[in-house]
Chain A
Amino acid sequence: MSILTMLWKNLWGGNRTTMFPARPAVSKGYRGLVKFDPEFCGGCAICKFRCTARAIEFKAGKGEFVWSYDPGQCTFCGRCVEGCIEHAHKEGRTEYALSQESAPPPIYLTLGELKHSYTVKRKPPVAKPAAAAVKPPAAAPADAPQSPNPVPGDAQ
């Protein structure tokens, strides 16, 4: 009898369907299309190395490089984003070029339609703080700039 009560409840209790074309919300950590921000890309190509499906292509040139991404080839694993974030942390940066949007990728009609590439000019290398800088802080690392004033506490 319990199946009949269940059917009765379903019949009057309403459906659980998301009516087309509305779509249910994705969960918080959903991995969708990879987004590239050319401003923060240093051209290390770790994303291309880590990509499992060869969706990212990286062509280095003189003074600029071309970064291209084919969502059709992508498997949305997120390794490229992880690599970019790790590399950024290692270099002490807080901003990184790659992120993954939390939305399902769109459907498309022709092969290769979603592939896009960016040509990014290589930025000049970030200059290390020069010799005429102000007194470095007490806990400065080993490769702190030379300063005329002896650093208290730190021999080197």
Chain B
Amino acid sequence: MKLWKKLMCNARRRSPWLFHMNSGSCNGCDIELVASLTPRYDAEQLGVRLEGSPRHADILCITGPVTHNAVNAIKTVYDQVCGPKAVVAIGSCPATTNVFIDSRTLDGPLTKHIHVDVFVPGCPPRPDAIIQGVAKAAEILAERGMNPPKTELSIAAVNGAGAPADGSLSAGNLEVQP
């Protein structure tokens, strides 16, 4: 069903639904992310919707250098996002921990825990840069649909361990390390 596949990939490119997650960020990148929904930048012209639940989203937007407390939450939420999914690391912090390099409270860049597709540098990045990153991630989802990759891109592939696949979203299941 080549036509259905093309239709589906077109739909994935035109309808990127985001879930935003903060893993210890200073909130600068979070503010710029919601600023991209304001009239000047208007992410909705690309069909972007900021969703309330990870299960609804295709693209997980993560800000912040990953703190120790946030690692389990990031992994749980990543597993809760239903495939096909893409991850956008917004800001320099998730990519390289930026100015917090070698800090004791952090657990490495984001790529240590999940697979990241697009990096949007900046401190904070401009909203139009964030929209470019989201559009690129939507394109990646569409291309991956047309040419599926050989290996599974999951936490298991990255570091061999992962959170339970069907962890429900009640607050009790998000383990927070003291």
Give residues in A with beta carbon < 8 Å to B. Answer: 15-21, 23-24, 26, 52-54, 70-77, 104-109, 111, 114
Give residues in B with beta carbon < 8 Å to A. Answer: 39-42, 45-46, 92, 95-96, 98-99, 101, 109, 111, 116-123, 125-126, 128-129, 131-133, 135-136
Complex: A71 Cα to B120 Cα, angstroms:
11
Asked if A70 and B128 make an inter-chain contact with CB atoms under 8 angstroms apart, the answer reads no
Complex: A19 Cα to B118 Cα, angstroms:
21
Contact with A75, one of B42, B123, B136 (Cβ below 8 angstroms):
B123
Complex: A26 Cα to B128 Cα, angstroms:
11
Asked if A107 and B40 make an inter-chain contact with CB atoms under 8 angstroms apart, the answer reads no
Asked if B45 and A19 make an inter-chain contact with CB atoms under 8 angstroms apart, the answer reads yes
Nearest-Cβ distance from residue B40 to partner chain A, whole angstroms: 6
Contact with B92, one of A19, A26, A72 (Cβ below 8 angstroms):
A72
Asked if A111 and B95 make an inter-chain contact with CB atoms under 8 angstroms apart, the answer reads yes
Complex: A74 Cα to B101 Cα, angstroms:
11
Complex: A33 Cα to B121 Cα, angstroms:
10
Q: Report which residue of B109, B122, B135 has the largest number of chain A beta carbons within 10 angstroms of its beta carbon.
A: B122
Asked if A73 and B98 make an inter-chain contact with CB atoms under 8 angstroms apart, the answer reads yes
Asked if B118 and A107 make an inter-chain contact with CB atoms under 8 angstroms apart, the answer reads yes
Asked if B123 and A76 make an inter-chain contact with CB atoms under 8 angstroms apart, the answer reads yes
- Chain B residues with Cβ under 8 A from A74's Cβ? 92, 98, 121, 123
25 A-B pairs with C-beta separation under 8 A: A15-B42, A16-B40, A17-B39, A18-B40, A18-B128, A20-B45, A20-B135, A23-B126, A23-B128, A24-B40, A24-B128, A52-B99, A53-B92, A53-B101, A72-B95, A75-B98, A75-B99, A76-B122, A104-B122, A104-B126, A107-B132, A108-B118, A109-B119, A111-B109, A111-B119
| Chain B, Cβ-Cβ closest to A75 | B123
How many interface contacts (CB-CB < 8 Å) are there between A and B?
88
| Chain B, Cβ-Cβ closest to A76 | B123
Q: Report which residue of B95, B116, B117 has the largest number of chain A beta carbons within 10 angstroms of its beta carbon.
A: B95
Complex: A21 Cα to B118 Cα, angstroms:
17
Nearest-Cβ distance from residue B66 to partner chain A, whole angstroms: 14
Complex: A73 Cα to B136 Cα, angstroms:
21
Q: Answer whether A75 and B92 are a contact pair too, CB < 8 Å, given A18-B41, A54-B101.
A: yes
- Chain A residues with Cβ under 8 A from B132's Cβ? 21, 23, 107
| Chain A, Cβ-Cβ closest to B91 | A75
- Chain B residues with Cβ under 8 A from A18's Cβ? 40-42, 128
Given A75-B92, A111-B116, 14 more contacts at CB 8 Å?
A15-B42, A17-B39, A17-B40, A20-B46, A24-B41, A72-B119, A72-B121, A73-B92, A74-B92, A104-B126, A105-B125, A108-B118, A109-B119, A111-B119
Complex: A48 Cα to B169 Cα, angstroms:
45
| Chain A, Cβ-Cβ closest to B123 | A75
Q: Answer whether A108 and B121 are a contact pair too, CB < 8 Å, given A20-B131, A23-B128.
A: yes
Contact with A104, one of B42, B111, B128, B136 (Cβ below 8 angstroms):
B128
Give the 8 A-B residue pairs with the shortest CB-CB distance, closest first. A17-B42, A23-B128, A75-B123, A73-B96, A105-B121, A53-B99, A107-B133, A104-B129
